[in-house]
Amino acid sequence: MYSFICDYSEGAHPNILKALADTCYEQNEGYNYDQHCLTAAKRIKEEIKRDDVDVYFLPGGTPTNLISITACLRSYEAIIAPSTGHIEVHETGAIEAAGHKILPIETPDGKLTPSHIQKILNGFEDEHTVRRKMVFLTNPTENGTIYKKAELQAIRKICDDNDMYLYIDGARLGCAIMAEGNDVKMEDLPEIADIFYIGGTKNGALMAEALVIVNDKIKPDFRFHIKQRGALTAKGSVLGIQFEELMRDNLYFKLAKHSNEMAQKMAKELEGLGFSFLTQSPTNQIFPILPNSIISELEKSYQFYIWEVVDHDHSAIRLVTSWATPEEKVDQFIKDLKQFI
Amino acid sequence: MYSFICDYSEGAHPNILKALADTCYEQNEGYNYDQHCLTAAKRIKEEIKRDDVDVYFLPGGTPTNLISITACLRSYEAIIAPSTGHIEVHETGAIEAAGHKILPIETPDGKLTPSHIQKILNGFEDEHTVRRKMVFLTNPTENGTIYKKAELQAIRKICDDNDMYLYIDGARLGCAIMAEGNDVKMEDLPEIADIFYIGGTKNGALMAEALVIVNDKIKPDFRFHIKQRGALTAKGSVLGIQFEELMRDNLYFKLAKHSNEMAQKMAKELEGLGFSFLTQSPTNQIFPILPNSIISELEKSYQFYIWEVVDHDHSAIRLVTSWATPEEKVDQFIKDLKQFI
Amino acid sequence: MYSFICDYSEGAHPNILKALADTCYEQNEGYNYDQHCLTAAKRIKEEIKRDDVDVYFLPGGTPTNLISITACLRSYEAIIAPSTGHIEVHETGAIEAAGHKILPIETPDGKLTPSHIQKILNGFEDEHTVRRKMVFLTNPTENGTIYKKAELQAIRKICDDNDMYLYIDGARLGCAIMAEGNDVKMEDLPEIADIFYIGGTKNGALMAEALVIVNDKIKPDFRFHIKQRGALTAKGSVLGIQFEELMRDNLYFKLAKHSNEMAQKMAKELEGLGFSFLTQSPTNQIFPILPNSIISELEKSYQFYIWEVVDHDHSAIRLVTSWATPEEKVDQFIKDLKQFI
Amino acid sequence: MYSFICDYSEGAHPNILKALADTCYEQNEGYNYDQHCLTAAKRIKEEIKRDDVDVYFLPGGTPTNLISITACLRSYEAIIAPSTGHIEVHETGAIEAAGHKILPIETPDGKLTPSHIQKILNGFEDEHTVRRKMVFLTNPTENGTIYKKAELQAIRKICDDNDMYLYIDGARLGCAIMAEGNDVKMEDLPEIADIFYIGGTKNGALMAEALVIVNDKIKPDFRFHIKQRGALTAKGSVLGIQFEELMRDNLYFKLAKHSNEMAQKMAKELEGLGFSFLTQSPTNQIFPILPNSIISELEKSYQFYIWEVVDHDHSAIRLVTSWATPEEKVDQFIKDLKQFI
């Protein structure tokens, strides 16, 4: 049984584990003040070509979203997000538990547009309603799709025009950056977002995300928010070491590239076999639509999610590859599938 | 410069890092449903001789406290804690940010007693006040002291008599269990506490705590609380593997024993030199009272906290040893100190 | 300038003010333990023919909604509500500020149906999502429409089948009960809702709502919730006296009947003039669709909300009448409007 | 049976009830935008001789405290308060439920001093602790004592020196202002406090407090906070009318003066009889220490709280008078008491 369930099925990349082993008796400052965090932050600043940002390392996507949002907002300020956004559907109301309303928007492919946002802004706003203060988007989206640079810039503009923060959840950011057709560079992100994160857990880390704060208004007292939400890691060096390795010799991007290539190889084969897809994903998550009979056969040897019922006889499944997916598993999957046609 | 600042200065024990490296390509279920979490939970159940408990693995002490407390309480229910308790002073108001009042009690040595608790219970209680619903204690305390079994049983009784939960923060539990003079066994804990945790981060893990829920009333929907507070680790196996190793061949207790021995060796030497201590600690944190002149000299070669001003010429310092403290560093410290007398 | 903006433009009914004046030197127990609250609760129990309910008097709709919902739910539990619901759009995120997610549903007329609710229930639910635990509805709705008894019973059933509470916001409950075509009796409400309120502020009170708790699970410790949210009125008798008077000689229902009649008189006239309506409202809020040119003329003498742009030349306006609306104002409005046709 | 339990036993002053009756058919803007609120705010500005403040009318002390504090603070910021403060002991954890920690201080008489505050400020503060950001005090205190102007100025100074807000809970402010020995004028308050309230409910109103915001940093978006916490009264004119009347012809101060005089007459008599007091209160709450045998006799005809056990045979009781206490009740109480000596 091989799993295409997600990109966090495997552990961490060997380089990371070697670095952790090599430093296990080293004494470090706690709480992200260690040399590894400093070095990793420096490498990230070089990558995005900005020295005037604050970088924090956090142990997971949900705490990163939660802390970023609560640090930006007062209690009556709300977040506009796609209805497929992780904060809206898959964080057990974490944002609301911290006091903030999410204003969800239905989208065809998980991507927000200025007109989506404008629709929410057109609603009546005074002290009887929440104030719209932040836009949340994910790149790549939960549907595997990516934003073009011009699309992000247009969203930046509507945020500027309406005094809203723009937060980019980059849980799989590497896969967006390395996707075919992408024109967003790492150095573009601080021009576009007020705050964003570079996801490590879904790209070869044990558990680590790198949060980048660009907007000066968000910087003060940020460590108070991290600690209060339980995410100020005592052994901060463990997080720093992971990003030190990911940012060494482009490992982060190489892993994302591999991950994309494995999914895209499957996508190309499936397309060649005449199957269509729920969304046009150039990243490591693809959503082919298959006859239910074939799905049943595949389920005997592979794990994956059935994502959506398409019609009586067809469903879309989600196939996710990772930094660790061997090419032979991808080949075998296609080979097996061909048998069931 | 050698550090006696804390027991989380070093990384993880080599056995843990080896296990993580050995399994890095292994595919696992996410979110603590993997085989390593299951095995680690089984070992913990054997250790405490109880099969009817729920065990969860969490990535740090503050989220473990936060989740445990919020899962137990309604919004108007409060926690009684020593004023030195971690939740009261060192979690940036995390418990209050989640909606709950802490009722702190001054104690001489960090240890709660039934009479301390009774004093709070004697206060007026109706719908204008918070309801007293939980007692929080730490073993060993932040002062290095430990509870005797009879002392814990007496607190259990006052909790039973007043319909309150008892939660034990075991961030350094191994050090309490392995301390000279301790009579509390691992298997006693589920008889005493409704919910408690076995701390890993301060005893050789990268970042991992094992939370044990004994009381059936706390068990339902607990995973919702973990996820909502951002602590449901995607790569749960990373946490499971750490406790699998710590629970193999008594490693957890061996590490704690070493940690205690290093501190106690220093304590014995200091006592022999005529110094007194702020508290009677048999664990890995000691608080010797030294002349300020000696402290200044020691600070040139060692890192430690100055804990409390005792009089014009003397202060108590905190020395903390860990699973990784080499005996020669302890010997060197005493040797250096003798020079300054 | 006469206002059809809302039903809380005027003060309280003279009977209420007389009773307050008559008792101003009377000494009463504080915090709703006084004789007036007891008497008013008794009258409400008689009205709904149930003695086994708890009745509380609260000083406004938003605190009543907030307290009712937070008392019912744990932090990870969510409320299903129509997207027009007061808690969703007009309470500044009060429910989220208290930690709970609202799952909004688009409806054509503000009325929930079992199929609306089922759509939300069909979504994936586990510890990564909020639990669906409560259905919130308003009768009459913010659109002036009312529920038939069978419709409410069908919603009750889907709540029973899915272990959810049903909460009815009755800010204008009197207007629903007294509407033409209504078949819901006061005594039906405790059979249908777990908790509901009888609105006073919008029906002749100064500021007072009567909350009725039917479900035994919601009853314990309810006063703690009221106090914690700042709504336990020191001079509780002021609230009790208001409902004592409203429940005397059917005053509550007489006022609602008048309010409905005034709006319906306008509706009938408008219909006769060939105008259509946004919704079919038999209550004291009507939403006629008028040419913008007529609206502009009316605005010179009357206050009302322009509710929705219908097409380039037409908008729906909201006209609200109250217990205090004089029939001559209604007649004058129609007379004036006829001039502009 | 006559009650000295509290100063909110009776209803409102007849002038207020007359004004409510006289305006009952008047149409007003909702939500505190009406003419009565505007007029009342103007009168308050004149009283405190400051035109650059914001004034809001709120329906009770607990919501006023809650809203004021949450509007001033971020989630990691805390309030320093006397351990007898209403927010600490008698609001069911309302402040914590909104996310903020209270740092309580033991005082001999309910009055904070700079040295009390300094003790809290001396504690370690960094991102592991809450930030000290606000000082809360009540004048007069819950113990009936009052602050001298110089004492308040000294607290203002320590707030300025440490970047903290000063909030004054004036639930019984009139009684402080009118107390013998008081040197604080209404116009001094905006010089001292960043935000404070003038309590109406305990001084002749039905339910109304006037909140004054002095510090410009607290002013923006304040109405969002009021609405979100459920305290934006639909019929805002009801609140405005109450303060219009209280501020007309010094009624507010006349009522407080009467209230003080009634308590002080009892105090003088008790003193003459040789009894001592728990605190030196010049206001409408006094705490005489009486033999338990006399207390038992008094309880047959009077209601009051037994406040504190003093020794085996003596207790302190609390006697509270109000704007409505008739002098003959005070005389009768003393006469009755003399019989039991």
Host H or E run for residue A23:
none
Mean pLDDT taken over chain A = 97
A partners (3+ CB pairs within 8 A) are B, C, D
Q: Which pLDDT score is estimated for D125?
A: 87
Q: List the single residue in C9, C28, C97 with the smallest CB-CB distance to D228.
A: C97
* Residue among D91, D93, D130 whose CB faces B78 most closely: D93
Taking alpha carbons only, the member of B240, B212, B226 closest to residue B32 is: B240
Q: Is A80 helix (H, G, I), strand (E, B) or coil?
A: strand
**Residue found by looking up tokens 């505007």 in the block:** D38
Segment C137-151 mean pLDDT: 98
Q: Could you give the count of Cα atoms lying within 13 Å of A188 in the half-sphere of its Cβ?
A: 16
List the single residue in A90, A99, A123 with the smallest CB-CB distance to C97: A99
Say if B8 is an interface residue toward chain A (CB within 8 Å). Answer: yes
Alpha-carbon distance B143 to B280, whole Å? 9
Contacts of D27 in chain C (CB under 8 A): 2-3, 9-10
In chain A, % of residues over pLDDT 70: 100
Which of D10, D227, D231 faces C230 most closely, judged by CB atoms? D231
Amino acid at site D272: G
Q: What is the pLDDT of residues C195-209, one digit of tens each?
A: 999 999 999 999 999
The pLDDT of residue C228 is above 90 = yes
Phi, then psi, of A187 in degrees rounded to 5? -70, -15
How far apart (Å, rounded) are the C-alpha atoms in residues D274 and B9? 66
The total number of residues written for chain C in this structure: 341
Which chain C residues are within 8 Å of B227, Cβ to Cβ?
A: 76, 127-128
Q: Is A127 on the interface with C (CB under 8 A)?
A: yes
C96 and A96 in contact by Cβ < 8 A? yes
The answer to whether A286 and A263 are in contact (CB under 8 A) is yes
Question: What is the chain D residue with the closest CA to C62?
Answer: D230
pLDDT of B125 reads 86
First-to-last alpha carbon distance for chain B, in angstroms, is 20
B235 token code pair: 């790569």
- What count of CB pairs under 8 Å joins A to B? 163
**Candidates B54, B127, B229, partner chain C, best to mutate (most C CBs within 10 A):** B127
Amino acid at residue number A240: G
pLDDT at D124: 81
Residues of C in contact with D9 (CB under 8 A): 27-30
CA atoms within 13 A on the CB side of D194: 24
pLDDT in tens, D258-280: 999 999 999 999 999 999 999 99
What backbone phi and psi angles, to 5 degrees, belong to A299?
A: -65, -15
- The alpha carbon of residue A52 is apart from the nearest alpha carbon of chain D, in Å, by 22
Reduced to 3 states (helix: H, G, I; strand: E, B; else coil), residue B90 is coil
C125 φ, ψ (degrees, to nearest 5)? -135, 120
Beta bridge partners of A78: A132
Q: How far is C186 from chain D (nearest CA, A)?
A: 25
Mean pLDDT score, A267-274: 98
Task: Find chain C residues with C-beta within 8 A of B128's C-beta.
Answer: 227, 232
Which one of A76, A223, A232 has the shortest CB-CB distance to D221?
Answer: A76
Across chain D, what does the average pLDDT equal? 97
Tell me the chain A residues in contact with residue D74 when contact means C-beta distances shorter than 8 Å.
Answer: 221, 224
Domains of chain C, start order: 2-7+251-340 (3.90.1150.10), 14-249 (3.40.640.10)
- Whether the model clears a pTM of 0.95, i.e. scores above it, the answer is yes
Instruction: Quote the CA–CA distance of B121 and B112 in Å, as a whole number.
Output: 14
Sequence-ordered list of residues with C-beta below 8 angstroms from that of A272, at least 6 positions apart, any chain: none
The number of C-beta contacts closer than 8 angstroms across A and C is 58
Residue C124's pLDDT is: 81
pLDDT in tens, D228-261: 999 999 999 999 999 999 999 999 999 999 999 9
Residues of chain A contacting residue C93, judged by C-beta atoms under 8 Å apart: 75-76, 78, 99-101, 130
Any B CB within 8 A of A94 CB: yes
Please give, rounded to a whole number of angstroms, the shortest distance from the CA of A74 to a CA of chain C: 10
pLDDT of A125 reads 87
Question: Does residue C92 sit at the A interface (CB-CB below 8 Å)?
Answer: yes
Scan for tokens 């959506």, then name that residue.
A308
Residue B242, class by beta-carbon neighbours within 10 Å (0-12 exposed, 13-18 middle, 19+ buried)? buried
> Is C278 an interface residue toward A (CB < 8 Å)?
no
Contact C205, C5 (CB under 8 A): no
Question: Is it the case that residue A123 has pLDDT exceeding 90?
Answer: no
Place of tokens 């919004």: B75
Q: Report whether A61 contacts A209 (CB < 8 A).
A: yes
Which two structure tokens, joined as six digits, stand for C272? 């006769």
- Among all residues of chain C, which has the CA nearest to that of D171? C234
Q: Is C160 exposed, middle or buried (0-12, 13-18, 19+ CB in 10 A)?
A: exposed
User: What confidence tens digit (pLDDT) does each residue in A164-209 have?
Assistant: 999 999 999 999 999 999 999 999 999 999 999 999 999 999 999 9
C94/A76 Cα distance (integer angstroms): 8
Pairing of strands A77-82, A131-138: parallel
- Is B78 part of the contact surface with chain D (CB cutoff 8 Å)? yes
Q: A102: which 2 tokens?
A: 């999410």
Which residues of chain D does B102 touch, with a Cβ-Cβ cutoff of 8 Å? Answer: 101
In a structure prediction context, what are the per-residue pLDDT tens digits for chain D, which is 341 residues long? 999 999 999 999 999 999 999 999 999 999 999 999 999 999 999 999 999 999 999 999 999 999 999 999 999 999 999 999 999 999 999 999 999 999 999 999 999 999 999 999 998 889 999 999 999 999 999 999 999 999 999 999 999 999 999 999 999 999 999 999 999 999 999 999 999 999 999 999 999 999 999 999 999 999 999 999 999 999 999 999 999 999 999 999 999 999 999 999 999 999 999 999 999 999 999 999 999 999 999 999 999 999 999 999 999 999 999 999 999 999 999 999 999 98
> What is the pLDDT, as a whole number, of residue C323?
98
Percent of chain C predicted with pLDDT > 70:
100
pLDDT digit string, tens, across residues B303-321: 999 999 999 999 999 999 9
A121-133 average pLDDT score: 93
Cβ of D100 within 8 Å of Cβ of B101? The answer is no
Of B282, B251, B111, B260, give the one whose Cα is nearest residue B183: B282
Residue A205: name the closest of C68, D117, B238, C158 by CA: B238
Contacts of C among chains (3+ CB pairs under 8 A): A, B, D
Q: Chain C: give the shortest CA distance to residue B312, in Å.
A: 46
Q: Is the pLDDT of residue C125 over 90?
A: no
Q: Which residues of D touch C232 (CB under 8 A)?
A: 62
Whole-angstrom distance, CA of residue C214 vs CA of residue C192: 9
DSSP H stretches of helix in A73-113: 86-89, 94-97
CB-based contact (8 Å) between B32 and chain C? no
Tell me which residue of D123, D43, D47 sits closest to D80, measured CA to CA: D123
List, for chain B, all residue ranges whose pLDDT scores fall below the cut of 50: none
